[in-house]
Structure 1
């Protein structure tokens, strides 16, 4: 019998408790450690810079698509990456913050295999929902699962886009003010975009990421208008599109950048105030139904309840 087998059971329990405590302390320390969102943005910008450098150094015809994973192989075998749906999906994924080619392949593969997988899962889970379900009921549930698999990926993607656009919209007025300051200080467009992206990294990381990528593209792409247009395409917001149009017109016609941005910032600030006033005006109509359901019944009970109790006590006495 070895020495390990001769140890008592209490020693094994103490050792297990010690290892569990050590892992718990590590988990707590990792949770309390400060995160560095700047590192992820630096890696993303470096990757985009490498892609642009490779695209400029290599001819477009020699760039090969190497399949990565099952999803990419499925998409390439079905030739889904060559159609209009692939370009539309890539644009929507970029608006949601997923800009890699692998994200497009995974999304297209989910759209293809999702209905089949959800149909099989629904068909297998039908007896759990209805133990007496026949074949027709199970096929009906499977059909509903297939329909959900068709629409669910796009619904989730649009919700992710909407949440990201709300985050971008919150930091846009500050970005315009910083652009005005940089333009009045004499910075060029490239320097202003890079400086504003660095300054708003803590308050608006998503918008800082987009501006950082735009600064990288401004330095590598031959057409500066394409770099600015890519910013509007990646966000899909009319406010950012207005900013891009102002920057493009400034580059084309040589109009003063600070004056144009100051006018645009005032318009955005007025639009933001009008949106807040609109929400405040809708508030009374929105609170009508909750007040009728949750405020008036307790109020009537408090006001009329004692009188009813007194009347009932007098009648029964």
Structure 2
């Protein structure tokens, strides 16, 4: 019984086997895309619980009226209490540091203020843990015997510094993504606020309406506007609700909107005209940012074009010819038997 002839190869790889593997991966990708398209969920559904908790806190009068005491409101848990006691005994816990971490968590969309203590505790523990592990692996087990002392120390220092910066890098990453999402939807939100103001709605009703309309397209912005509407309804000073919005969003445009709102509440200036001017400015800024990205696109696409697109194009064009030439030379070698 004669063996079946081998299939065509390219660079030592069986073309049929590689094609089968790529087809299986493509089928799995299509199934995943269909699953994600069918199981679309409301992005505001996860945020309803935190908004309801904030409403209940405001109803029960837990929130203090002083801005200085705002950062000290922390829900007590056993874990955070132990972390707080440990940090306090080591005298590394400062009120200003806790307030800064709490603001970063709020800007990242994390409402639990007690996690600030966990972040500070992680800054202290992670460098010790990963530093000890890396020292044992590098110096104890001599994992890299061919490396010099300078290289080993550089690796040890890099691991320790990265472990110290890891919590801040994670929070800053979430914060930047959330800020970009808020920036994208802010001009549309201001246009809707202008419409609501001209229709005669109050400020809190306008914020609530905009949050419902933009909740699906821009869930982060809808979350912030909904929380602002709740605070406008329950806080004793409406100015604090706008200050809390600027506190939670690290964006100069939002600070400008909150300043406009505070001045409107204080001096009775026309709200619709001021918001219309701000909306036009933010929309022009968004257009300029898009044009800037479009102008950088040819230079950015040069490297992917050379590394990924052109080799694939050459393989598609020259691959069949290379397979035919290889089969022709293999068939014409002396001593070859069919």
If the TM-score is normalised by the length of the shorter chain, which range does it land in? 0.7 to 0.9
Q: Secondary structure at the match of 1:35?
A: coil
Alignment equivalent of 2:116, drawn from 98, 104, 107 = 104
The answer to whether the Cα contact below 8 Å between 2:75 and 2:113 also exists between their aligned partners in 1 is no
The answer to whether the Cα contact below 8 Å between 1:96 and 1:164 also exists between their aligned partners in 2 is yes
Offset at residue 208 of structure 1 (A): 0.8
Q: Secondary structure at the match of 2:59?
A: helix
Aligned position for 1:74? 83
Offset at residue 213 of structure 1 (A): 1.0
Aligned position for 1:40? 46
Q: Secondary structure at the match of 2:257?
A: helix
TM-score by structure 1 length? 0.73
Aligned position for 1:84? 96
Aligned position for 2:5? none
Range with greater deviation from structure 2 (249-258 or 86-95)? 249-258
C-alpha separation between the residues in 2 aligned to 1:64 and 1:276?
A: 41
Alignment equivalent of 1:207, drawn from 199, 221, 224 = 221
Structure 1: unaligned runs, 5 residues or longer = 1-28, 303-317
The answer to whether the Cα contact below 8 Å between 2:103 and 2:248 also exists between their aligned partners in 1 is yes
Aligned position for 1:179? 193
Aligned position for 2:14? none
The answer to whether the Cα contact below 8 Å between 1:179 and 1:192 also exists between their aligned partners in 2 is yes
TM-score by structure 2 length? 0.69
C-alpha separation between the residues in 2 aligned to 1:113 and 1:297?
A: 47
Alignment equivalent of 1:168, drawn from 168, 174, 182 = 182
Assess, with a 3 A threshold, how the Cα gap between structure 1 residues 38 and 286 changes in structure 2: closer, same or farther: closer
Aligned position for 2:17? none
Offset at residue 130 of structure 1 (A): 2.2
User: How many residues end up aligned between the 2 structures?
Assistant: 274
The answer to whether the Cα contact below 8 Å between 2:105 and 2:113 also exists between their aligned partners in 1 is no
Aligned position for 2:230? 216
C-alpha separation between the residues in 1 aligned to 2:303 and 2:310?
A: 10
The answer to whether the Cα contact below 8 Å between 2:101 and 2:116 also exists between their aligned partners in 1 is yes
Q: Secondary structure at the match of 1:255?
A: coil
Assess, with a 3 A threshold, how the Cα gap between structure 1 residues 173 and 116 changes in structure 2: closer, same or farther: same
Larger helix proportion of the pair: 1
Alignment equivalent of 1:242, drawn from 215, 234, 256 = 256
C-alpha separation between the residues in 2 aligned to 1:31 and 1:174?
A: 25
Assess, with a 3 A threshold, how the Cα gap between structure 1 residues 69 and 145 changes in structure 2: closer, same or farther: farther
Structure 2: unaligned runs, 5 residues or longer = 1-34, 318-338
C-alpha separation between the residues in 1 aligned to 2:308 and 2:36?
A: 44
Aligned position for 1:277? 291
C-alpha separation between the residues in 2 aligned to 1:54 and 1:73?
A: 27
Name the structure, 1 or 2, with higher relative contact order (CA <8 Å, separation 6+): 2
C-alpha separation between the residues in 1 aligned to 2:306 and 2:147?
A: 42
Assess, with a 3 A threshold, how the Cα gap between structure 1 residues 295 and 171 changes in structure 2: closer, same or farther: closer
Offset at residue 157 of structure 1 (A): 1.7
Aligned position for 1:18? none
Assess, with a 3 A threshold, how the Cα gap between structure 1 residues 139 and 197 changes in structure 2: closer, same or farther: same
Offset at residue 109 of structure 1 (A): 1.5
Assess, with a 3 A threshold, how the Cα gap between structure 1 residues 144 and 285 changes in structure 2: closer, same or farther: closer
Alignment equivalent of 1:233, drawn from 231, 247, 256 = 247
Q: Secondary structure at the match of 2:44?
A: helix
The two structures, once aligned, show a CA RMSD in angstroms of: 3.7
